[in-house]
């Protein structure tokens, strides 16, 4: 009986160790910024759509098995030296990821060159070495919420592909 209990304990420990090896990676997602190049920039519906992208993305990342780590708005604003700064400065974004305890951080932008379509853009940065590991673009034609969600889902597929490739030896 004693031997049997030891076997069960060892088996349980091995199961827990293997689960940790497959645990989801921790990703921080920053608020997306709107880069509106149209003749009527910053219309309320576009600002609202941009503000909702982060929540959609976090939800889809959780569905894909990733752990989403929050970054406070104050920390993001403090690190941001202007429009596009965090998108262009991977080292600063990586520091935010480290502060949040994340493995990666996604810095996003909704780039609107036309009234007909937008580009959902994301930079995935490694907290470990401050390197850009993924540069993503998804085109969204139209402003419907379902179309925006499709663009977000496409972005998550690309992120997942990148992270799975990194995990492979």
How far is C-alpha 61 from the geometric centre of its chain's CA atoms?
A: 7
Q: Give dist(CA 105, CA 132) in Å, integer.
A: 10
Ordered by start, the domain boundaries in the chain are 24-167
The answer to whether the beta carbons of residues 96 and 127 sit under 8 Å apart is no
Q: Which CATH superfamily is domain 24-167 in?
A: ABC-type transport auxiliary lipoprotein component (3.40.50.10610)
pLDDT of amino acid 2? 61
Say how many Å lie between the first and final Cα of the chain, rounded. Answer: 41
pTM beyond cutoff 0.75:
yes
The H or E element containing residue 123 is strand 117-126
Structure tokens, 91: 């080292």
Mean pLDDT by 10 residues, the chain (169 residues): 55 44 78 92 91 95 95 87 86 93 96 93 96 96 90 95 82
């Amino acid at each position: 009986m004693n031997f049997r209990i030891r076997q069960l304990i060892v088996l349980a420990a091995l199961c827990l160790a293997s689960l940790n090896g497959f645990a989801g990676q921790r990703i921080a997602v920053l608020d997306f910024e709107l880069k509106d190049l149209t003749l009527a920039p910053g219309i309320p519906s576009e600002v609202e759509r941009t503000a909702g992208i982060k929540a959609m993305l976090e939800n889809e990342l959780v569905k894909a098995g990733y752990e989403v780590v929050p970054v406070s708005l104050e920390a993001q604003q403090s690190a941001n030296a202007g429009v596009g700064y965090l998108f262009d400065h991977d080292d600063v974004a990586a520091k935010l990821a480290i502060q949040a305890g994340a493995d990666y951080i996604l810095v996003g932008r909704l780039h609107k060159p036309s009234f007909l379509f937008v580009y959902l853009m994301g930079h995935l940065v490694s907290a470990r070495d401050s390197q850009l590991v993924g540069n993503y673009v998804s085109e969204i034609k139209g402003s419907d919420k379902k179309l925006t969600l499709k663009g977000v889902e496409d972005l998550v597929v690309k992120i997942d592909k990148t992270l799975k490739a990194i995990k492979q030896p």
